[in-house]
C-alpha cells in the first residue's frame, strides 16, 4: 500500500498534511522555507519543538514525555519523564539504540538488529 496525503490550509497560515496511515504533520506554511512544527504518528505519538527536521520533544500515547538532545558527535539522547533514557547512534532512519538506562539506573547495551541487548549492568 502506498502512502498518500492531502494538504489543508489552516486559517492561521499553517498547513496540515493528513496522510493515509492516520498520521499528520503541521507545517509553518507553504513557502519554500516552511518547516515542520508538529507531527503525530498513526499510533498517537506527538513530536514537537522541531530544530530543522529533528524534534525536540515527544509525547507518547500513554502520557509519558521525552526530550531529545542532539550531541556534538551526532548521537542523540532521549530523556524520558520517568527518568529513563535512550542513547541513539543518530537521528535518521538508520539510527540504532546504543544504550538504554532505566529509571533505577540499570544500563542495557550491545543491541542487536532485533533490538535485544547483549549486556546489562544492574544498579
Q: What are the φ/ψ torsions at residue 23 (nearest 5 degrees)?
A: -85, 165
For 7-18, the pLDDT digits (tens) are 999 999 999 999
What distance in Å separates the CA atoms of residue 113 and residue 30, rounded to the nearest whole number?
38
Mean pLDDT of the chain: 95
Residue 73: CB partners within 8 Å, gap ≥ 6? none
52 Rama sector, left if φ>0, alpha if ψ -120 to 50, beta otherwise:
left
Alpha-helical (H) ranges within 1-123 are: none
pLDDT above 90 as % of the chain? 90
pLDDT at 48: 97
What distance in Å separates the CA atoms of residue 116 and residue 107, rounded to the nearest whole number?
13
For 32-74, the pLDDT digits (tens) are 999 999 999 999 999 999 998 899 999 999 999 999 999 999 9
Amino acid at each position: 500500500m502506498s502512502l498518500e496525503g492531502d494538504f489543508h490550509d489552516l486559517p492561521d497560515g499553517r498547513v496540515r498534511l493528513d496522510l493515509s496511515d492516520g498520521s499528520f504533520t503541521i507545517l509553518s506554511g507553504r513557502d519554500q522555507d516552511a518547516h515542520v512544527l508538529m507531527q503525530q504518528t498513526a499510533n498517537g505519538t506527538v513530536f514537537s519543538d522541531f530544530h530543522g527536521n529533528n524534534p525536540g520533544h515527544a509525547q507518547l500515547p500513554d502520557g509519558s514525555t521525552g526530550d531529545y538532545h542532539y550531541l556534538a558527535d551526532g548521537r542523540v539522547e532521549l530523556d524520558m519523564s520517568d527518568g529513563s533514557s535512550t542513547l541513539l547512534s543518530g537521528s535518521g532512519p538508520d539510527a540504532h539504540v546504543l544504550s538504554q538506562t532505566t529509571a533505577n539506573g540499570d544500563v542495557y547495551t550491545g543491541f542487536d538488529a532485533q533490538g535485544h541487548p547483549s549486556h546489562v549492568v544492574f544498579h
